Structure 1
Amino acid sequence: MQNKQLTAGDIIGLGFMAFAFFLGAGNLIFPPFAGYQAGENTPFAMLGFLITAVGLPLAGLIAVAKSKGKVMRMLPPVAATVLASAIYIIIGPAFAAPRTSLVAFEIGLKPFIDNTDTIIHLGGLALNQAQLLFTIVFFIVVMLLSAFPGRLMDSVGKVLTPLLIALLVGLAISVMLFASGNMPAATGDYALHPLSKGIVEGYNTMDTLASLMFGMLIIDLLRKKGIEDTHLQTVYLTKAAFIAAAGLAFVYISLFYLGATAGELASGATNGGQILTNYVNQQFGDLGNIALAVVVSLACLTTAVGLVTSCSDYFSELFPVLSYRVLVVVLSVVCAVVANVGLSELISISIPVLMMVYPVAIALVLVTFLERFFRRPKLTHRVSLLVALLFGIFDGLKVAAASMKSFDVSDATPFSQGLIHFVAWISPVMSELPLYDQGMAWLVPTLVAIVVCIIIGHSTKPSSVNA
């Protein structure tokens, strides 16, 4: 039987779908504030941000395509399952998916309604009534879209995303035409090392982690479309990856420029959402606010659909007793609950967690591309990822300890006090590592581990390469 192939329109729709999955509300909020803080150092900060927020997700998708959807096949089964599960939980119900509904509420609905601070009490919990109702409706829509994954390319890639792209293009054109403020002096870490600060800031998008999920999701969708040939799957996924990367780069560059030239519009702003809202309100008034609400809501919705779909697909394979649609319902409910209970606490620990896990994901993508140079690929994968994890943990602990210092240590739990003391004890040693002060202590040791594995592998006899 002849293998089915996609048309050019299908490939573009696939790329649009991938772009929409990546472009969540956080992706619209981080760049303007980073541009504002980077100021005159925006080109370097933007380059760093693009490396981790565009380049690495692109590489992640291609790595998944290159490995035919089995990017973790070189790891021990238990380690691969733990790593994959951790990524799915972090990028799914624990952090990213609940955040989509919260930001959609704050920017997409809250500015247009009154009495948004009404509190209701359920089971001893104080909940925002408007936010509760919004998140329930939001995740009902997510659940319905996610329940039929075979239609995702049509419903998201060919319907929702073109509207989203049209609105973003309009915003970008207006930024290029009307943003005229002078770039201020760089502040904080952007004044000292803007490139590495931009790289670490790109972690917040979580898109490198998401690329490992979305890549496998797209391959699964291609199979459902009748594309069984693995070579064609690789070709189509790679083309979709470049389309998504181009869209992300376009959005980030324009939003960085907006933040860097915002001038008085950014005065007193504490996040990029405020800068973006102030700009849109000044340039377009109420009509602009409505358009921004539509952009943010669509970005949040499409991302949430991609996250819930990917997590449901993965855990339905991991636990066959649970069907895909049952997991869609369960995860949608969990996301709605997390968005209303304890989300601030989860977000407060998200950065340390990302500092620990991101190096592992980056190392995984890197060794996947370099696999043909390894005589002992399994050993190289395992050693490199272990080194990245160990040193990434130190990066994460440093950030966690720094955030804890803002609280009264005497009131902290014994674990928190112990963590602060441990980091204070180990920091003098770790500070000798290159890039430790910039949050990337893992990079040099990981590269060294890869090089050593290559040298050791090629110094052994061919008969031992299967170890």
Structure 2
Amino acid sequence: MKNSRTIAVGFMLFAMFFGAGNLIYPASLGMGAGENYLPAIIGFILTGVGLPVTAVIALSLSKNGATEIAGRVHPAFAVTFVSLIYLAIGPFFGIPRAANVAYEMGTAPLTGGLSSPILFVFSLIFFTIVFLISRNPSKLVDIIGQWLTPLLFLSIAALAAGSLFLPSSGSVAPGEKYGSTPFFSGFVEGYLTMDAIAGLAFGIIVITSIQQQGVTDQKQLTRQTIKAGAVTAIVLSLVYAAIGWVGVKMAPSGDFASGSLLLSSAAETMFGSAGTIILGLLVTLACFTTCVGLTVTCGQYFSKRIPKLNYLQVITIVTILSLGITNLGLNQIIKYSVPVLTFLYPITIVLVILAFIGKYFRHSRYVYRGAVAFTTVISLYEGLQVLEISIEPLTAFVEMLPFVTIGLAWVLPALAGGVLGAIIHVLMPSSSKRRREKYALSRSK
């Protein structure tokens, strides 16, 4: 596979990852971290870039992607969990949220504010173009990697270059959470981008794109995926660092309620009225490429899962559903989606980690089941907490767990469940033998 093609695939993956949230989070971090920006952004990059790219690489280690990885727990779990992931990051939340952000930051400022009729017209045009580009996934690398990504780069470069000419008032003192532990606070912020879930979906496109170049050997496929992932990681890291620096430079000039408001002010300060257009173009392109990537991945997954529906029929359903949910408005979409993502994300991380270290315990189903079961209990509890549904018997236990205040209460239970599964695996030699034989057979094919 030519290096130029690897770079194009890496650019495509970058564009699909880079949505509006990925634009706003680093700006907020820079604004809050101030003098402690460097350790904070390093922590952010480790999880905001490392986890998603790692998820994509994990898929290249299996023949059937996320379904195979989740299937090591149980086949029924694989179908349910993976389908929930695609629905959550696809038509039920991810796509409508991106479209709404594109409207609110890209179009609404030019049309005098938010308006339901204008949102409908915008979303109708937006999803028509998404559908047309998504119809031919084989050309996705060319369309996104070679055309849309450069436009996205130019918009980001203009914003970053303009920050060099912002008035320098010195760095502000770091906010409360970045004062004593800036690295770990940035680490958690990157984790909260939830791009690892998208990585499980986008990985299918990346692997398919590489296979279309004639790469069929499993080791070669993984090697090429790592190369493309490295391109994505480098570009994402540079972009996050540049946008975060805009936040640092703008922080002394005002008290901004969010990263989006800070970026809007920065764009206007740097370029006047043209800044609104530049930022609008940047946000719209970022959201558009993400929506295309998610539509394609949903089409590829569900057309294989439901034989009665072909790819074109699935993306038609996805775009129509996304169009309808988009018009509910951003606040309503976020309100019902956060509990679902709070539940899904820890399980996703555990499965990705197990995919990498599984060879050391021959991908024992007991280890997978123990780690996932314990994680599921905690993540389900936290999801219900978001809905303000309290389960009193669990509350006292969860509150004693380490990292509970930063949303990582599942870490110790996941480890405990995995260790318990490993013990069961060792104590059941006959099952372990059958598992080893099945594992060896699958690797030989």
Residue 245 in structure 1 maps to residue 233 in structure 2? yes
> 1:266: Cα distance to partner?
4.3
Q: Which residue does 2:439 correspond to in 1?
A: none
- Give % identity: 34
For residues 390 and 179 of structure 1, what CA distance do their matches in structure 2 show?
50
Amino acid at match of 1:112: L
CA offsets, 1:333-390, max 9 Å, x none?
A: 1111111125422302433332221111110111111012104522212211222221
Residues 69-84 of structure 1: pairs in structure 2 closer than 5 A: 69=65, 70-84=68-82
Instruction: Compare 435-444 and 286-295 and name the one that shifted more.
Output: 286-295
Residues 306-385 of structure 1: pairs in structure 2 closer than 5 A: 306-341=293-328, 343-375=330-362, 377-385=364-372
Instruction: Compare 382-391 and 154-163 and name the one that shifted more.
Output: 382-391
Closer, same or farther in 2 for the Cα pair 1:427/1:375, shift >3 Å?
same
Q: Which residue does 1:390 correspond to in 2?
A: 377
Q: Which residue does 2:107 correspond to in 1?
A: 109
For residues 77 and 95 of structure 1, what CA distance do their matches in structure 2 show?
25
CA offsets, 1:101-130, max 9 Å, x none?
A: 11111222222234x455xxxxxxxxx111
User: Of 87, 90, 97, which aligns to 1:89?
Assistant: 87
User: Of 150, 155, 164, which aligns to 2:138?
Assistant: 150
CA offsets, 1:293-330, max 9 Å, x none?
A: 22111111111000000011111111111111111111
C-alpha contact (below 8 Å) 1:203/1:354 kept by paired residues: no
For residues 233 and 396 of structure 1, what CA distance do their matches in structure 2 show?
36
Closer, same or farther in 2 for the Cα pair 1:180/1:458, shift >3 Å?
farther
Instruction: Compare 379-388 and 164-173 and name the one that shifted more.
Output: 164-173
Q: Which residue does 1:301 correspond to in 2?
A: 288
> 1:274: Cα distance to partner?
0.8
Closer, same or farther in 2 for the Cα pair 1:264/1:448, shift >3 Å?
same
Closer, same or farther in 2 for the Cα pair 1:375/1:311, shift >3 Å?
closer
Amino acid at match of 2:143: S
Q: Which residue does 1:98 correspond to in 2?
A: 96
Q: How many residues in Structure 1 have an aligned counterpart in Structure 2?
A: 432
Amino acid at match of 1:79: F
Q: Which residue does 1:160 correspond to in 2?
A: 148
For residues 419 and 246 of structure 2, what CA distance do their matches in structure 1 show?
41
Closer, same or farther in 2 for the Cα pair 1:78/1:144, shift >3 Å?
same
Amino acid at match of 2:42: L
For residues 208 and 11 of structure 1, what CA distance do their matches in structure 2 show?
21
Residue 215 in structure 1 maps to residue 213 in structure 2? no
Runs of 4+ aligned residues of structure 1 deviating over 6 Å after TM superposition are none
SS of aligned partner of 1:302: helix
Q: Which residue does 1:450 correspond to in 2?
A: 418
> 1:462: Cα distance to partner?
7.9
Instruction: Compare 445-454 and 159-168 and name the one that shifted more.
Output: 445-454
C-alpha contact (below 8 Å) 1:265/1:275 kept by paired residues: no
> 1:245: Cα distance to partner?
1.3
Residue 292 in structure 1 maps to residue 287 in structure 2? no
For residues 385 and 65 of structure 1, what CA distance do their matches in structure 2 show?
21
For residues 265 and 187 of structure 1, what CA distance do their matches in structure 2 show?
15
C-alpha contact (below 8 Å) 2:11/2:145 kept by paired residues: yes
CA offsets, 1:161-207, max 9 Å, x none?
A: 12212322332343356473433344454456555543443344331
Instruction: Compare 333-342 and 84-93 and name the one that shifted more.
Output: 333-342
C-alpha contact (below 8 Å) 1:375/1:454 kept by paired residues: no
C-alpha contact (below 8 Å) 2:9/2:145 kept by paired residues: yes
For residues 189 and 352 of structure 1, what CA distance do their matches in structure 2 show?
24
User: Of 23, 26, 32, which aligns to 2:21?
Assistant: 26
User: Of 402, 405, 415, which aligns to 1:437?
Assistant: 405
TM-score, length-normalised on structure 1? 0.85
Instruction: Compare 179-188 and 80-89 and name the one that shifted more.
Output: 179-188
Instruction: Compare 158-167 and 308-317 and name the one that shifted more.
Output: 158-167
For residues 283 and 97 of structure 1, what CA distance do their matches in structure 2 show?
31
User: Of 221, 236, 242, which aligns to 1:254?
Assistant: 242
SS of aligned partner of 1:182: coil
> 1:226: Cα distance to partner?
4.1
TM-score, length-normalised on structure 2? 0.89
SS of aligned partner of 1:396: helix
For residues 353 and 41 of structure 1, what CA distance do their matches in structure 2 show?
33
SS of aligned partner of 2:73: coil
Structure 1: 5+ residue stretches without partners? 1-5, 119-127, 402-418
Amino acid at match of 1:383: G
C-alpha contact (below 8 Å) 1:181/1:263 kept by paired residues: no
For residues 147 and 400 of structure 1, what CA distance do their matches in structure 2 show?
37
Q: Which residue does 1:53 correspond to in 2?
A: 48
CA offsets, 1:72-102, max 9 Å, x none?
A: 3413111001110111111111111111111
C-alpha contact (below 8 Å) 2:207/2:225 kept by paired residues: yes
For residues 352 and 397 of structure 1, what CA distance do their matches in structure 2 show?
7
Q: Which residue does 1:464 correspond to in 2?
A: 432
Amino acid at match of 2:50: G
CA offsets, 1:131-150, max 9 Å, x none?
A: 11001100000000001101
